[in-house]
Chain A
Amino acid sequence: MQDAVVSPEKTEEAKLKARYPHLGTKPGGSDLLRKRLQKGQKYFDSGDYNMAKAKMKNKQLPTAAAEKTEITGDHIPTPQDLPQRKQSLVASKLAV
């Protein structure tokens, strides 16, 4: 007689597939791995940036979208748009 107990993992998998029906249609492993390898990718076009810097004095540029994290070729980045990588000048709070 077959044991009809479904493992908790399979139940969870069914839940996930119900919410995201297209999940796992592509080889899931490669997608996840490729996302992991591409961590830190930020797109920046120096040509656009320098053009924008030069033109800024004269006229208004198309304003950047509210989303400031992904800068792609779709809009011209301004110096304010670029994510600021501030260097840590503050001492660690562990060292108090």
Chain B
Amino acid sequence: MAGAGGGGNDVQWCFSQVKGAIDDDVAEADIISTVEFNHSGELLATGDKGGRVVIFQQEIENKSQQQCRSEYNVYSTFQSHEPEFDYLKSLEIEEKINKIRWLPQKNAAQFLLSTNDKTIKLWKISERDKRPEGYNLKEEDGRYRDAATITTLQVPVFRPMDLMVEASPRRVFANGHTYHINSISVNSDNETYLSADDLRINMWHLEITDRSFNIVDIKPANMEELTEVITAAEFHPHQCNTFVYSSSKGTIRLCDMRASALCDKHSKLFEEPEDPSNRSFFSEIISSISDVKFSHNGRYMMTRDYLSVKIWDLNMENRPVETYQVHEYLRSKLCSLYENDCIFDKFECCWNGNDSVVMTGSYNNFFRMLDRSQRRDVTLEASRESCKPRQVLKPRRVCAGGKRKKDEISVDSLDFNKKILHTAWHPQENIIAVATTNNLYIFQEKVN
């Protein structure tokens, strides 16, 4: 299939690159916490637990060919957030980057928002490939000349230099959140963005750091009455007045900011009715939505809960239009997954460029491609063993019980420490970025 962003199972995925250390001893700081392509797909940003951001740039091998290999190479890296201690509240603030969101490009520079639990920062990434030379009062190395020795006057000129990419913090949006920020989303108006924590959602103007509007507040007057928290939020891709937020109880609320200043009352409530006879201790925990993403065309949204991915039509609130099982075989392992805390893992999900395929991660470094148009799915693995250049990824199968076939892996052999929580899909091409604990894999569509 041509690189139109489509393709689930007629697309063969092959290994392109892997970034990060090979050794098994993973430092906490190296754990990747977010992955995001920019709007053109030319840049790929990662954030980690150590508060660092690494940006890769796509370099195309042979521009004349239509379908060609491209490689992502390091473009810029910087320390976005530092660890802090809030002495007033006795609260340790992690430097872990929870989310990165790119702004659409307006000029030569690139801008992104990065956030940890408490503070959002706007970073400007700009290129410098020229420098002024021939100053009268300074030597080339910056030392000042003795004015008495200057006898002639010259005009400094710009000369080319080796490309330097600089990242500078342009805005710091601090003190807006009492609870931990889980999402940021840039509005289609390109002027505002939202940030969501467990109980509140704020709207900021990109130019203004000392004020923000609170648009959702679900904090109960009595904290004993707390029953649900906000887990994710996103602005609609085209309608600047619309946003959604998901909850730990498996509901999604769509809000229209034209209706009122405080959007505590939703415009739409998306919830799938549950069979009360099926309810168990785990029901609410596994229904908690870990990610919500609008489709590119703005007509659908996708939610990820512990065991499934659901596609919702924005015009239908009472049930999703499609439901895909990610790893149903885990339903009979919920007891141990609760004991080892894995049941609380927050998996993300993403759409391909033309909304025909969705992708999400699982355990054992497996990830799932769910083809909506062809109603087929495949499980692939990000592994150092399939790292030969252009090696095609083989589908993986998990044996839920009974006799294990050749090439299948049994549920009990799955490594629950190898989780793929963060994945990203190039907005136009069939290029995907998959983050394992501390490595970033880039896979591409097989080019013949």
Per-residue contact bits, chain A 24-66, to B (CB 8 Å; 1 contact, 0 not)? 1000111011101101111110100000000000000000000
Binds A, one of B44-52, B144-152, B256-264: B44-52
Cα separation A84 to B179 with both chains bound (whole Å): 23
Asked if A88 and B280 make an inter-chain contact with CB atoms under 8 angstroms apart, the answer reads: no
A80 at the interface (CB under 8 A from B): no
Taking the closest CB of chain A, its distance from the CB of B247, in whole angstroms, is 11
Per-residue contact bits, chain B 44-68, to A (CB 8 Å; 1 contact, 0 not)? 0010101110100000000000000
Asked if A40 and B117 make an inter-chain contact with CB atoms under 8 angstroms apart, the answer reads: yes
A41-B48 contact in complex given A29-B227, A36-B229, C-beta closer than 8 Å = no
Taking the closest CB of chain B, its distance from the CB of A33, in whole angstroms, is 5
Per-residue contact bits, chain B 248-277, to A (CB 8 Å; 1 contact, 0 not)? 100000000000000000000000000000
Taking the closest CB of chain B, its distance from the CB of A57, in whole angstroms, is 25
Asked if B90 and A41 make an inter-chain contact with CB atoms under 8 angstroms apart, the answer reads: yes
Cα separation A81 to B30 with both chains bound (whole Å): 25
Asked if B19 and A94 make an inter-chain contact with CB atoms under 8 angstroms apart, the answer reads: yes
Chain A contacts of B284 at CB under 8 A? Answer: 28-29
Taking the closest CB of chain B, its distance from the CB of A28, in whole angstroms, is 7
B92 at the interface (CB under 8 A from A): yes
Asked if A39 and B180 make an inter-chain contact with CB atoms under 8 angstroms apart, the answer reads: yes
Cα separation A67 to B52 with both chains bound (whole Å): 29
* Choice from B54, B229, B282 contacting A95 with Cβ under 8 Å: B54
* Choice from A30, A46, A85 contacting B224 with Cβ under 8 Å: A30
Interface size class of A (residues with CB under 8 A): 35 or more
Asked if B278 and A93 make an inter-chain contact with CB atoms under 8 angstroms apart, the answer reads: no
Cα separation A41 to B87 with both chains bound (whole Å): 10
Chain A contacts of B179 at CB under 8 A? Answer: 37
Which A61-96 residues have C-beta < 8 A from chain B? 83, 85-88, 90-96
Cα separation A46 to B94 with both chains bound (whole Å): 21
Cα separation A63 to B76 with both chains bound (whole Å): 46
Asked if A85 and B50 make an inter-chain contact with CB atoms under 8 angstroms apart, the answer reads: no
Asked if A93 and B281 make an inter-chain contact with CB atoms under 8 angstroms apart, the answer reads: no
A15 at the interface (CB under 8 A from B): yes
A9-B91 contact in complex given A33-B228, A88-B51, C-beta closer than 8 Å = no
Asked if A9 and B331 make an inter-chain contact with CB atoms under 8 angstroms apart, the answer reads: yes
Per-residue contact bits, chain A 5-28, to B (CB 8 Å; 1 contact, 0 not)? 001111111011101000110001
Taking the closest CB of chain B, its distance from the CB of A63, in whole angstroms, is 23
Asked if B198 and A40 make an inter-chain contact with CB atoms under 8 angstroms apart, the answer reads: no
Name the CB-closest residue of B to A89.
Answer: B79
Asked if A87 and B83 make an inter-chain contact with CB atoms under 8 angstroms apart, the answer reads: yes
Name the CB-closest residue of A to B338.
Answer: A16
* Choice from B30, B51, B90, B333 contacting A93 with Cβ under 8 Å: B30
Chain A contacts of B438 at CB under 8 A? Answer: 93
Asked if A94 and B46 make an inter-chain contact with CB atoms under 8 angstroms apart, the answer reads: yes
Q: Can you list 8 A-B pairs, Cβ within 8 angstroms, ordered by A?
A: A8-B334, A12-B331, A13-B280, A37-B198, A37-B199, A40-B92, A87-B79, A94-B77
> Which residues does B use to contact A, with CB under 8 Å?
19-21, 29-30, 32, 46, 48, 50-52, 54, 74, 77, 79, 82-85, 87, 90-95, 117, 179-180, 198-199, 223-224, 226-229, 248, 278, 280-285, 331-335, 338-339, 438, 440
